Every structure is written in structure tokens, then in C-alpha cells.
């Protein structure tokens, strides 16, 4: 049941994208009970996720950027 801090951070990252399995999360939870450093990391990581959600980030698609680049280059 014991996992290393590296495994813990890996599970933590995956869980930010809902890609951690149930057992992984159980293992992570147990690890967080006794590992302060990972607990801190995990907290910050979830904060980052919620900030990204809140900020409503958007971006241009790859195609859009390619098109922009082509159009812009024509004007050089």
C-alpha cells in the first residue's frame, strides 16, 4: 500500500484530469496522511486546477494559428 512521493505526485497530477484510478486515489490519500510535503503539493495542485477552471481559459486552435501565420507572412 505504501507509495513513494514520486508516485504520489504522479497520481495527484493524473487525478487533476480525472485520470487516476480508484485504487490509486486510495493509495494517494493514505500517503497524504503522513507526508506533509505531498499534502502541500496536492493542495496547490488542486488550487491550480480550480484556478484554470475559473479563469475560463481559451486558446486558438492549431489551424487558426497556422492560418494567421500564413496571412501575416504575406504582409511581411
Partner 1 sequence: MAAQELHPENWVDLYADYLFNYAVARVSDTDLAKDLVQETFYAGLNSAKNFKGDAAERTWLISILKRKVIDHYRKINSKKGKAEVRINYSSDSDAEGDWLEQQVADPFSKDGDNIMENEELGLAIQDCISKLPQKQAVVFKMKTIQGMSTEDICNELDINPSNLWVMIHRARTALMGCLNDNWF
Tell me, what DSSP letter sits at residue 19?
A: -
Nearest to 60 by CA among 50, 49, 72, 68: 68
Residue 26 vs 68, nearer CB to partner 1: 68
**CA distance linking residue 27 with residue 68, whole number of Å:** 47
Residue 16 vs 35, nearer CB to partner 1: 16
Residue 9 vs 32, nearer CB to partner 1: 9
User: Residue numbers of the site for partner 1 (CB under 8 A)?
Assistant: 9-10, 13-14, 16-17, 19, 44-45, 47-48, 51-52, 54-60, 64-65, 68-69, 71-73, 75-76
Amino acid at each position: 500500500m505504501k507509495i513513494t512521493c514520486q508516485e504520489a505526485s504522479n497520481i495527484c497530477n493524473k487525478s487533476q484530469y480525472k485520470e487516476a484510478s480508484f485504487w490509486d486515489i486510495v493509495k494517494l490519500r493514505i500517503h497524504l496522511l503522513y507526508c506533509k510535503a505531498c499534502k502541500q503539493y496536492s493542495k496547490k495542485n488542486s488550487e491550480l486546477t480550480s484556478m484554470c477552471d475559473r479563469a475560463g481559459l481559451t486558446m486558438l486552435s492549431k489551424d487558426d494559428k497556422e492560418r494567421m501565420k500564413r496571412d501575416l507572412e504575406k504582409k511581411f
